[in-house]
A and B are shown apart, each in its own frame.
Chain A
Amino acid sequence: MFELFTLFFIQRALLIGAVIAIVSGLIGPFIIYRKMSFIGVGISHGTFSGIAFGILLGVSPLPMAIIFAVGLGIFIGFTSRTGKISEDVSIGILFSFAMALGIFLISLSSGYHADIMGYLFGDILAISNNDLYLAIGVLGSVMLWYTLRSRQMKYMTFDEDFAKIAGVPVGIDYYIFMALISLSIVVIVNFVGVILASSIIIAPAASAKSIVKKFSSIVVLSIVLAELSILSGIIFSYNLNISSGPSIVFFVTFVFILSLFYRKIKNFKVKNR
């Protein structure tokens, strides 16, 4: 079983997997408490139109995916903050538009694109050095943000009105957060694909929230659960020779279901004490 850890592409996948686990653990709990869970779906689909645009132009899809994802994330944030359209409505409309735009752009480009399935459902064999550099860059940015701005983010998530009165630049912090979510989603899309990306950023945080109460414990447990799920998913997919993206999502969801059972049992014990 351990021979898989000697394979170069598995080592690279495990490294990116660890990066994703940390990034999801630091960002995911804020997404959950800000009730923005649907944002991952919106932005991941936005990256697909970026990828398609890159294919059409014959350039690397990665920079295009970044531009489209960050652009869409900030646009969704802008529409919801200015109060013209609610966040879920703008995501609901934009994510299908982004998907339609992606398919349209791919149909315009000449030739057959076998790698489209990889973009949709993820392919750890297709992870390039550039993907790895991007992941490390995003990890650095998210860790820096967490170190410098997590206090402000906690205040905003708890009570945005008072945070504003107290002097927190809530608008700037919100858009920085949206940009970081978008960048993290691009990294995750490279790993598990457009369709499956959102669960990786949401599910570990949701599971941790069911198990522990303190915010710092939720963050640490989110990272641990994400890492365990990604590691198990990769091993499972390698042994069964199936796609790694769905395999990781199976484990992430399985952990979430277990966390719900844990909470049920805990609540039952408290009630019957």
Chain B
Amino acid sequence: MKQPDIRSARLRRTFERCSNEGRSALVGYLTAGDPDIATSLELLQTLAGQVDILEIGMPFSDPMADGPVIQAASERALEAGTHIGDVFALTRRVRDAHPDLGIVLMGYANVPYAMGFDAFAEKAKACGADGVLMVDIPPEEGGICDDALAGQGLDRILLLSPTSPEERIRLVCENATGFIYYVSLTGITGADMGDMDDIRARVERIKSLGRLPVCVGFGIKTPEQAARVAAFADGVVVGSHFVSQIAHAANACEMRDCMSSSAEQMRRAVAAAT
């Protein structure tokens, strides 16, 4: 059996540091270029200052696995003229300002496929990303991208869900690197969370089968939920909740303030959880 590991030294150190501090990592998501490139940079920098790992979404015309909040973010970003080159440039700026931050590029297969996975992996590495999460490339289809990502030392983060049977949990544990993203409900991003005891049992089962950290996301909207998940997960992923600050705010200044305060609440909740 292939030994699972963390290719990125930065992601490894991030999980070690959090573990030493006796807490979960806080993972935040924003779509690059939302609502426009300049504001997006400010928002990404704001969130980067509060989280341990930042997931930077690559906007796509057909975000099939996302709910209305992140769909709208993708549409705003594309309407604002965000290209994949802008995603790399934004990532580079965030990396320069936050040398220890874990950064994961997240999105759908077709944008990297159109560029070619070798070129994509090279650019992702060059802009300072540590890992890549492509929602619609399960381990069975990994042949099209795995070597390119491994060649650049990028982690290939994979998902597991409540519908994943035992053999798929094993398959994902054997093929994922960096961390495993446990989708806590059988729905799309931004829907309501599933039953907490069930989530906990599943996360413990995944951890018993592999050696990778397990981060839990999809549906975490409040600091209380974040704290409950932080009690057993290695990382707590907050996505739609942060993205929704953009839609609700009246202007860039208000967006930044809302982002900062909601991220700080989440950070405190995760840090205080035991």
Q: Say whether A and B bind each other.
A: no
B contacts, CB < 8 Å to A = none
